[in-house]
């Protein structure tokens, strides 16, 4: 038998993505998938996303802006992508959380209370059926609420 000690505290399943939309994406914004491309240098698939609009199916939540390139970490040079502060402009990289705890900018932040469910279209619902997330906190000063994405 094999027992793998797999655990994660405060983790979210997330993928590096590229903002191909015309709008700036801020951390906490809902995004929708547009397509996929393969990074020519790293050979990995990169989701193409844009800020979700009314009626779109939500893929996930923008968790952080990302920078692409070589990054120094102690004595090592890491290739790839690294999280950074800021907004995500068109053709900028974004870390999209698709499952787990993440802070989101909810359209009804003032009325959505912990325990409320959110549908794939970003609407509030009273039922777990067809929901993609559950609200876990009140809104903070920036209008962000912790949600548990459960795609």
Neighbours of 88 (CB within 10 A): 28
Question: By mean pLDDT, which of 29-33, 64-68, 82-86, 129-133 is the weakest?
Answer: 129-133
pTM here? 0.83
pLDDT in tens, 99-134: 999 999 887 656 788 988 887 766 666 666 678 889
Residues 106 and 86: their CA atoms lie apart, in Å, by 19
The span from the CA of 41 to the CA of 70, in Å, is 12
DSSP conformation class of 129:
T
Tokens standing for residue 136? 């876990």
Give which of 5, 15, 82, 69 is closest to 42, Cα–Cα: 69
């Amino acid at each position: 038998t094999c027992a793998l000690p797999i655990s994660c505290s405060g983790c979210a399943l997330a993928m590096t993505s590229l903002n191909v939309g015309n709008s700036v994406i801020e951390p906490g914004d809902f995004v929708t998938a547009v397509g996929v491309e393969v990074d020519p240098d790293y050979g990995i698939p990169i989701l193409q996303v844009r800020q979700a609009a009314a009626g779109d199916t939500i893929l996930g939540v923008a968790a952080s802006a990302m920078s692409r390139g070589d990054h120094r970490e102690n004595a090592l040079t890491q290739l790839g992508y690294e999280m950074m502060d800021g907004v995500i402009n068109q053709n900028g990289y974004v870390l999209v959380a698709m499952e787990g705890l993440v802070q989101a900018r909810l359209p009804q932040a003032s009325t959505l209370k912990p325990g409320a469910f959110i549908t794939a279209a970003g609407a509030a619902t009273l039922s777990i059926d067809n929901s993609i997330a559950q609200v876990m906190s009140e809104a903070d000063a920036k209008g962000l609420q912790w949600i548990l994405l459960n795609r």
